[in-house]
């Protein structure tokens, strides 16, 4: 399976789904719509939404049924990037070679565009439940996504990461029994990055009717692939001369080996899932071994 061809085939469906939720609308101020779409079109790799569709396939479903999950997760991912770039966070002027949202639209509109994308993600899931009679899947997917995005997931991971990057153990709530630096970073990766991978994959499969056992396997698979992806991302940052938190704790070779071990473990979990899980396996390999 050619993973690039697979992605090229699926991304137009995802893009159409995102465009349908973020188009011009008389009730929405034009500048807000522009700010919401700024990082969505052109977008990034669309890795999380493609994973959602592949997870639906892996449990025998039509990938299209997972489209609400794919759209919701990309909206959340995009909101997190907009807020991460803000002056009060990473203070980045460019992302993917273009001005960040606050540079293009002003800080207040960037904050509000993030808020609107976060809210819209849950509207997508709730409405999918109403429109398709997929109420249970929609509630289950929304619950997982809310946990992944909230205080115990993305937001909490970001809080701890800001403290970690500032190297301020007190701000991270360090106590005499505080975890080692390695555990601290692993926990940040698990919440800041892997939680959203888990939600994409489990949520996509949920819309295709995944069983409890399948959901449990995919949850672990998503966790391992998500952490390995983050390590690989840190290594790519380091190669391009940026600060990489993982390299504060271990050498690049050790980190690379760790990512490969996580990937192997994740792939082993899908042994016996057959040909229909091949896109999910290939996407996992791509996430961890890509060159950018």
Binding site for ligand GRG (CB under 6 A): 44-45, 47, 80-81, 83-84, 96, 154-155, 158, 192-193, 230, 233
Residue of minimal CB distance from ligand GRG? 44
Round to whole Å and give the CA distance between 214 and 209.
Answer: 10
Provide the minimum distance between the beta carbon of 115 and ligand GRG in the complex, in angstroms, as a whole number: 10
Round to whole Å and give the CA distance between 234 and 246.
Answer: 6
Round to whole Å and give the CA distance between 221 and 207.
Answer: 18
Provide the minimum distance between the beta carbon of 154 and ligand GRG in the complex, in angstroms, as a whole number: 5
Provide the minimum distance between the beta carbon of 163 and ligand GRG in the complex, in angstroms, as a whole number: 13
Provide the minimum distance between the beta carbon of 30 and ligand GRG in the complex, in angstroms, as a whole number: 24
Is the Cβ of residue 53 or residue 134 nearer to ligand GRG in the bound state? 53
Provide the minimum distance between the beta carbon of 214 and ligand GRG in the complex, in angstroms, as a whole number: 24
Provide the minimum distance between the beta carbon of 292 and ligand GRG in the complex, in angstroms, as a whole number: 8
Is the Cβ of residue 91 or residue 131 nearer to ligand GRG in the bound state? 91
Is the Cβ of residue 229 or residue 273 nearer to ligand GRG in the bound state? 229
**Closest Cα to residue 72, out of 118, 22, 139?**
118
Is the Cβ of residue 83 or residue 281 nearer to ligand GRG in the bound state? 83
Question: In the chain, which residue ranges form alpha helices assigned H by DSSP?
Answer: 3-21, 30-38, 47-58, 67-85, 101-105, 107-132, 135-149, 154-165, 181-189, 195-207, 212-239, 252-269, 278-289
The string of DSSP codes covering 95-164 is: ETTEE-HHHHH-HHHHHHHHHHHHHHHHHHHHHHHHHHS-HHHHHHHHHHHHHHHSTTTHHHHHHHHHHH
Is the Cβ of residue 59 or residue 154 nearer to ligand GRG in the bound state? 154
Is the Cβ of residue 137 or residue 234 nearer to ligand GRG in the bound state? 234
Round to whole Å and give the CA distance between 7 and 283.
Answer: 9
């Amino acid at each position: 399976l050619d993973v690039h061809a697979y992605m090229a085939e699926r991304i137009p469906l995802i893009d159409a789904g995102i465009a349908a939720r973020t188009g011009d609308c008389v009730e929405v101020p034009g500048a807000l719509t522009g700010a919401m779409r700024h990082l969505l079109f052109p977008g990034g790799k669309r890795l999380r939404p493609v994973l959602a569709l592949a997870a639906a396939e892996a449990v025998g479903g039509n990938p299209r049924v997972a489209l609400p999950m794919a759209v919701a997760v990309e909206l959340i991912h995009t909101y997190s990037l907009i807020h991460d770039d803000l002056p009060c966070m990473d203070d980045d002027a460019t992302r993917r070679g273009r001005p960040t949202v606050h540079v293009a639209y002003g800080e207040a509109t960037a904050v509000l565009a993030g808020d609107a994308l976060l809210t819209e993600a849950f509207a997508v899931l709730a409405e999918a439940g109403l429109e398709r009679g997929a109420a249970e899947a929609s509630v289950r997917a929304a619950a997982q996504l809310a946990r992944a995005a909230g205080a115990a997931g993305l937001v909490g991971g970001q809080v701890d990461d800001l403290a970690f990057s500032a190297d301020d153990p007190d701000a991270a709530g360090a106590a005499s029994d505080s975890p080692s630096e390695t555990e601290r970073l692993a926990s940040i990766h698990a919440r800041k990055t892997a939680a959203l991978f888990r939600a994409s994959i489990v949520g996509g499969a949920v819309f295709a009717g995944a069983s409890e056992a399948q959901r449990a396997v995919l949850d672990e698979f998503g966790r391992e692939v998500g952490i390995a992806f983050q390590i690989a991302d840190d290594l790519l940052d380091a190669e391009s001369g940026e600060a990489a938190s993982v390299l504060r704790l271990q050498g690049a070779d050790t980190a690379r080996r760790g990512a490969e071990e996580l990937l192997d473990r994740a792939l082993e979990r899908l042994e016996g899932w057959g040909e229909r899980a091949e896109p999910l396996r290939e996407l996992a390999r791509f996430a961890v071994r890509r060159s950018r």
